[in-house]
Structure 1
Amino acid sequence: MAGEPTKPKSAGDVASARAEAREGGPLPETRRSASEDIAAFVAKARAMSPHAAGAKGRLVFALDATMSRQPTWDMACALQADMFREAASLGSLDIRLVYYRGFNECRATGWISDSAQLARLMGKIDCQGGNTQIGKVLSEARREAVASGVRAVVFVGDAMEESVDDLCAKAGELGLLKVPLFMFQEGQDATAEQAFREIARLTGGAWCRFDPGAAAQLRELLRAAAAYAAGGREALLRLSKTTSGAAALIGQMK
């Protein structure tokens, strides 16, 4: 009630909050945007310079961390430093890790600019069984795009167990904000491919498949996404002349 004193936090509460900040906190609940929200998104997107000189690139790095994904999670942990190295030649890069696993658990870290810090954080996270939560990833990406600017989103996964129409509505909002999604699919699941391709199309991004356990393929794709986040389409175009991963992405982007 109004006027009542705030109950002081216990030492346990404080410790829990600090641990959550280190390893990624739960995503806030978000409501579906109304037409006025979308209008505001478009206005802000038009006012923003997506690759202004000297600006840091911001990339949302989203991973499916359900049980089947442990080998790929470990591989992504080893390869994420390549994203920072690729971006370093163009400027700089901040990464926000978003992951889902288990029963209704979806978390996001703060913005990270150091590959060693991101590797340490990822190393503490184990995969757990559960359904996909791609909708929450898209909502978080939209929220960050409006709040602080996001140049691109990378998603790595092998399945889709949600309403594809709901996901496409969220993807369309990111498309209005000019935030492309790079949907990197592991394996051959046809349902996932159909959804991932459409999400990529609606955001002006790209879809690409890589083979299970194929570190070299995933490395090229992550480097290409980082190049775009740090230097825009021109940087991706330059990289496409030397790597097949970048060429596969630039060929799909609007």
Structure 2
Amino acid sequence: MSGEPTKPRGDAVSTKTGAVPQAGTSTSEDIAAFVAKARALSPHAPGAKGRLIFALDATMSRQPTWDMACALQADMFRETAALGSLDIRLVYYRGLDECRATAWISDSAKLAALMSKIDCRGGDTQIGKVLSEARREAVASGVRAVVFVGDAMEENIDELSVKAGELGMLKVPVFVFQEGHDAVAEQAFREIARLTGGAWCRFDPGAAAQLRELLRAAAAYAAGGRDALLALAKTASGAAKLIGQMK
């Protein structure tokens, strides 16, 4: 299997390649129009549609948290209702060498239905593939933020740091939400958050309220940027934890 996540059957995005336009001379007006269009399409431009990669460890030990995340994911969409629309791309890994990514989803019911069909399976962590997918998608279509929920790290931390640094250069923060107290995982998760300009937070096993607050805060950032997160931080502890760490 390649290092890139595959898409689950039924959720793959089909693309069509059009004809290659003939080369020509660009005028100053053409260049100005292109720059304006690029800015309009930027995920960080005012009014742009928020895009969030929601990445989950789906190895065997994660089933209780997977079920909890499935129940809480609708809160991310609700949090952004007043800020604008939000698209979420689910990325998960499980088993010996399985890492998958869905299409972009803008409906909480569809995301919940998809997640309910996925069961956790034993295997090693594949966080590097998650970061690679986030970078690829950030370059291809724009991503405002990445959320990763996990409890372990079994990979080379230096290799993960390189991938995280690339996301940092693209200004895509990773919000790492760690379940439990694994020291090796914490060291890696904190570094990923630091290198991307994101944040690391711990939540207790089975603590739905803690995870809900963190997911709401990440969604607010993805939909409305730093200003939206700052506004939410005035009343929500989860948002305050994130903004306190972000560069």
Q: Tell me the TM-score normalized by structure 1.
A: 0.83
| Kept after mapping to 2: 8 A contact 1:90/1:231 | yes
Is 1:213 aligned to residue 206 of structure 2? yes
Q: Relative to structure 1, is the Cα distance of residues 135 and 18 closer, same or farther in structure 2, using a 3 angstrom cutoff?
A: closer
Q: Tell me which of 96, 101, 105 is aligned to 1:108.
A: 101
| Kept after mapping to 1: 8 A contact 2:176/2:200 | yes
1:156-198 superposed Cα distances (whole Å, 9 cap, x missing partner): 0000000000000000000000000000000000000000000
Structure 1 equivalent of residue 54 of structure 2: 61
Take 2:167 and 2:141, find their aligned partners in 1: how far apart are those partners?
14
Q: Secondary structure at the match of 1:207?
A: strand
Q: Relative to structure 1, is the Cα distance of residues 240 and 146 closer, same or farther in structure 2, using a 3 angstrom cutoff?
A: same
Take 1:18 and 1:201, find their aligned partners in 2: how far apart are those partners?
29
Q: Secondary structure at the match of 1:20?
A: coil
Structure 1 equivalent of residue 10 of structure 2: 21
| Kept after mapping to 2: 8 A contact 1:227/1:235 | yes
1:27-81 superposed Cα distances (whole Å, 9 cap, x missing partner): xxxxxxxxxxxxxxxxx9xx75443233110000000000000000000000000
Structure 2 equivalent of residue 168 of structure 1: 161
Shift of 1:19: 6.4
Residue-pair matches, total: 217
| Kept after mapping to 1: 8 A contact 2:8/2:100 | no
Pairs within 5 Å for 1:76-225: 76-225=69-218
Take 1:236 and 1:151, find their aligned partners in 2: how far apart are those partners?
13
Shift of 1:21: 2.9
Take 1:148 and 1:251, find their aligned partners in 2: how far apart are those partners?
28
Q: Relative to structure 1, is the Cα distance of residues 19 and 101 closer, same or farther in structure 2, using a 3 angstrom cutoff?
A: closer
Q: Tell me which of 243, 247, 254 is aligned to 2:240.
A: 247
Segments ≥4 residues shifted beyond 3 Å: 47-50
Take 1:147 and 1:157, find their aligned partners in 2: how far apart are those partners?
26
Q: Secondary structure at the match of 1:230?
A: helix
Take 1:19 and 1:53, find their aligned partners in 2: how far apart are those partners?
32
| Unmatched tracts of structure 1, length 5 or more | 1-16, 26-43
Structure 2 equivalent of residue 72 of structure 1: 65
Q: Secondary structure at the match of 1:197?
A: helix
Take 1:127 and 1:57, find their aligned partners in 2: how far apart are those partners?
28
Take 2:84 and 2:8, find their aligned partners in 1: how far apart are those partners?
31
Give RMSD over aligned pairs: 1.8
| Unmatched tracts of structure 2, length 5 or more | 1-5, 14-34
Take 2:208 and 2:190, find their aligned partners in 1: how far apart are those partners?
22
Q: State the identity as a percent.
A: 83
